[in-house]
Structure 1
Amino acid sequence: MGTSSAFGGQGGSTPLVPSWLGDDGAAPAAPDGTPASPGQPPDGAPPDGTPPDAPPVAPVRSPLPPIADPTRFSAARNNFSRFAGSGGDDRRSLGRAVSHYVGSSSGGARTAAARMGSARGAGSRLLGFLSDAVNRGATEALRALNLDGLAGRPIEEIFLGLADYVCPDGGSIDEGIAREAFIETIADLAGAGITDLDGITAEQMQTVFELYATNAIEARLCNDIGARTVTLPSDSREAARVQAQLNDFIRRGVADALTTARAAAAALTPDRVLAFVGRVYEQAFGILRIMGDAEAEDV
């Protein structure tokens, strides 16, 4: 499960959405590029235009995010353990695991999407590049990133060269999830029939993003529920079946979300990419919860 083994699971004191988690995993910046103020001046503070010799007013820091329920991952973890222990046969437990993860563990689809952090920023950069390649050609899209030396190279080599742009390497788990999901996406390209960036179509662009979003959601889920506490089957074929079923389940949700957003994708502009990616993640989590509930009730 790729990054699923990178982390033992979220601690009970971890907020649902950490305060440092912005649209791309970094704190938001003010229009002039400086870090945004963590809060507003207290009531009665001097308005703008205060004389320079006035004493500085210390900002009021925002309160820490509320501590989430320390047992919120238990239901998802227990059900996923049952699914894994069955070798992939217990689909009802898979449905319950995904439904509990989106609902009780993450606090709903919107919060689950907000928790994607760096994967949202990486997804928007990937989609923006691919949109440019569709509209202007691969060579021009690479030249815009000063990567024109990669033009004409095999697609896997091009994507490896894009890694530092799409998902800059960092030390946080969130950044690691985004980067590992991108590496797994590169490995998935050939299986999806995408072998040449020159002449890439809008449909292929959607497929690449679908692969990335699927890998990112899978990695986020597995890290959150605590992959090291879930015992996979000792038989390698059964373990691969468990992984494939989880990946396929998530991909169906992402594909449905992208189908719903097809009109917005056709009118995508650079300044709308990040918001579009955020909506797709939110819709995907909402669909996954519905799919999970349906799977859990299936007899």
Structure 2
Amino acid sequence: MGTSSTFDGPNNDRPLVPSFVDDSDRDDGAGDDAGEGQDGADSDSGDGEHALAAPPLPPPGPAGRFTAPRANFTTFARSGGTDRRSLGRAVSGYVRSSMGSPRSAAQRMGTARASGGNVVRMLQSVQANGIAETLRELNLTALAGRPIEEVFAGLADYVCPEDGSIDQGIARNAFIETIADLAEAGITDIDGLTSEQMTTVFELYVAHTIEARICNDIGTKAVALPANPAAAQKVEDMLHDFILRGVTDAVARSGSNIQTLSPDQINGFVTSVYEDAFQILQAMGDAEAAR
């Protein structure tokens, strides 16, 4: 698809921050990676001025808390996606033992949640005002009439602005992965977005962020273990489908309509979806492990 040369970017005569971008929740996960170095994962709590504005760092997690989930995930990957029990143990163990609880797991997704709120606001803006007006606000009118994938790619810098951190990279890559899924999901008319399609875009984004976070913590290089490329693809597909099921159930549990959420409700909705998704994934993992 390509996203680097489809347009020249915004000019300087309009604000660079569109109305659908909200920074109120962006730093609440800034310290969530503290203590990761004890188990070999990354810490991106920031430094300098950004660190001064961040909330106090939580205490380091127990050493080795990723060991068992990582081992189970590796077993699942080596099976070529056939060992669903190991997948269940890996996911449920990640939420329960590595993160401590579904709530803690959701809190660790602070940057992804902030960008998730921007996804909702962007979809609301497009649905309410039309894509032409949304693009005009950003000086991206050159994208008008282009395929939905190119339009969404042009909006990536505003939905998931880059700051060089691992968490922001996860959020941005998840948005790009979501764009790649649009055609398969039957979403091709950006000016004709239905409420159901808006929900699908959001669910895909959340699922990709959780998938990336889990892989970053316990699945690094594991999905490449099967020598057969088809088996490696099956591992990735099964993990994605497993997580997407949990996210879809979480959104359904919320009983909310993305199209009608008020500005004051969006951040709370996104946070509750992440927390419920991790809770559901833990239960799903336990069920798979018990088979």
TM-score w.r.t. length of structure 2: 0.80
Q: Indicate the percent of aligned positions where both proteins have the same amino acid.
A: 57
Displacement of 1:117 in angstroms is 2.1
Q: In 1, Cα distance between the equivalents of 2:83 and 2:41?
A: 31
Distance in 2 (CA, whole Å) between partners of 1:179 and 1:92 is 31
Which residue of structure 1 lines up, in the alignment, with residue 87 of structure 2? 94
3-state SS of paired residue (2:61): coil
2:255 corresponds to which of 232, 237, 262: 262
Matches within 5 A, 1:192-207: 192-207=185-200
Q: Give the whole-Å Cα distance in 2 for the aligned partners of 1:11 and 1:244.
A: 29
Q: Deviations over 1:160-197 (max 9, x none)?
A: 10010011122111111111111111111111111120
Deviations 1:265-285 (A, max 9, x none): 353022322221111111111
Q: Report the counterpart of residue 272 of structure 1 in structure 2.
A: 265
| 1-structure distance, mates of 2:252, 2:42 | 28
Which residue is equivalent to 1:167?
Answer: 160
> Secondary structure in 2 aligned to 1:152?
coil
CA contact (8 A) 1:15 1:65 kept: no
Question: Where do 1:1-299 residues align within 5 Å?
Answer: 10-12=36-38, 64-228=57-221, 232-263=225-256, 265=258, 267-298=260-291
Equivalent-residue separation in structure 2 for 1:271 and 1:148 (angstroms):
29
Larger CA Rg, structure 1 vs 2: 1
* Cα pair distance change 1:92/1:13, threshold 3 Å: closer
Mapped contact 1:16–1:111 kept (Cα < 8 A):
no
2:102–2:278 Cα contact (<8 Å) kept: yes
Closer/same/farther in 2, CA of residues 257 and 218 from structure 1, 3 Å limit: same
Contact kept, 8 Å, 1:84 with 1:233, in 2: the verdict is: yes
The structural deviation recorded for 1:202 is 0.8
Cα gap change, 1:194 to 1:229, in 2 (>3 Å): closer
Distance 2:131 2:140 in 1: 10
Change (3 A) 1:257 1:37: closer
Deviations, residues 64-93 of structure 1 (Å, cap 9, x unaligned): 421111110111101111111111111011
Structure-1 separation of matches of 2:71 and 2:170? 23
Q: 1:148 to 1:72 in 2, by over 3 A?
A: same
1:137 Cα deviation after fit = 2.1
Deviation at 1:230, TM superposition (A): 6.4
**Unmatched segments (≥5 aa) in structure 1:** 1-9, 21-25, 28-34, 39-61
8 Å CA contact 2:124, 2:259 repeated in 1: no
- Cα distance, 1:243 vs. partner? 0.5
After TM superposition, give the deviation of residue 105 of structure 1 in Å. Answer: 0.4
Structure 1 pair 86/15, CA: closer, same or farther in 2 (3 Å)? closer
Aligned residues: 254
Matched with 2:11 is: none
The one-letter code of the counterpart of 2:176 is: I
Q: Which amino acid is 1:80 matched to?
A: F
Conservation of the 8 A alpha-carbon contact between 1:19 and 1:65: no
Name the CA distance, whole Å, in 2 between partners of 1:189 and 1:237: 23
What SS does the corresponding residue of 2:37 show, helix, strand or coil?
Answer: coil
Change over 3 Å in CA distance of 1:286–1:114 after alignment to 2:
same
Instruction: Give the drift of 1:36.
Output: 5.3
Deviation at 1:116, TM superposition (A): 1.1
